[in-house]
């Protein structure tokens, strides 16, 4: 039964961009560690200034990323968030609020760190995501 659950999680997170091109074994290792989270619209998933605790992958739905009072971007299925504070140890850089019902898969800080040190592919993919985000925020 556990095997079936892992297969299901694998399917749910199959479209997450940072997991594309990851060797199957690395995807399986991640699928074993994530927990599904279902949130309603307007739910505050993380709050700017709080300490970071989880990393999130979006399987379904959309969320607004808000800095101060400004919506800086909208994240959707296949995207990730919560990586910045876990990587730096600094507080959450933005507030993330669901704008539709969402299906998320979360990894706690410890597991996120472990997965990253074991998966060079994931580390590369996250660097790319971060570089893009940084570039976009420099542009505006
Ligand atoms: P973290 O700082 O842990 O918590 C808030 C999250 O919002 C952050 O990680 C990123 O995942 C996300 N975020 C912050 N700034 C941007 C941005 N410019 N573009 C996309 N996502 C962002």
Question: Measured between alpha carbons, how far is 9 from 59 in angstroms, rounded to an integer?
Answer: 10
Give, using CA atoms, the residue closest to atom 7 of ligand 1: 94
pLDDT for 82 equals 98
How many domains is the chain built from?
Answer: 1
> Could you tell me if the CB of 73 is within 6 A of ligand 1?
yes
Residue 65, domain CATH: 2.60.120.10
Ligand 1 closest atom vs CA 56: 11
Q: What is the DSSP string of 64-121?
A: EEEETTEEEEEE-TT-EESHHHHHH-SPPSSEEEESS-EEEEEEEHHHHHHHHHH-HH
Which among 94, 131, 134 is the best mutation to test ligand 1's pocket, defined by most ligand atoms within 8 Å of the CB? 94
pLDDT for 139 equals 64
- What does the block give as tokens for 95? 């507030």
pLDDT for 6 equals 82
User: What is the distance in angstroms between the CA of the first residue and the CA of the last residue of the chain?
Assistant: 49
Q: Given the cut 0.95, state whether the ipTM is greater than it.
A: yes
Domain of 45, in residue numbers: 2-112+120-139
Answer whether 46's CB lies under 8 Å from 52's CB. yes
For each of the chain's 140 residues, which pLDDT tens digit applies?
A: 777 888 899 999 999 999 999 999 999 999 999 999 999 999 999 999 999 999 999 999 999 999 999 999 999 999 999 999 999 999 999 999 999 999 999 999 999 999 999 999 999 999 999 999 998 887 65
pLDDT for 70 equals 95
Answer whether 58's CB lies under 8 Å from 104's CB. yes
Side-chain-side CA neighbours of 62 within 13 Å: the count stands at 6
């Amino acid at each position: 039964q556990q095997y079936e659950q892992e297969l299901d999680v694998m399917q749910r997170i199959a479209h997450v961009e940072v997991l594309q091109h990851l060797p199957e074994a690395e995807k399986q290792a991640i699928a074993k560690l994530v927990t599904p989270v279902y949130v309603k619209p307007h739910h505050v998933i993380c709050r700017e200034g709080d300490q970071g605790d989880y990393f999130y992958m979006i399987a379904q739905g959309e969320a607004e990323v808000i800095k101060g009072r400004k919506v800086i971007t909208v994240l959707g299925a296949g995207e990730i968030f919560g990586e910045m504070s876990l990587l730096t140890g600094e507080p959450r850089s933005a507030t993330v609020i669901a704008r539709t019902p969402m299906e998320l898969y979360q990894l706690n800080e410890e597991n996120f760190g472990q997965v990253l040190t074991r998966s060079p592919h994931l580390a590369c993919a996250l660097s790319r995501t971060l570089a893009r985000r940084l570039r976009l925020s420099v542009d505006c």
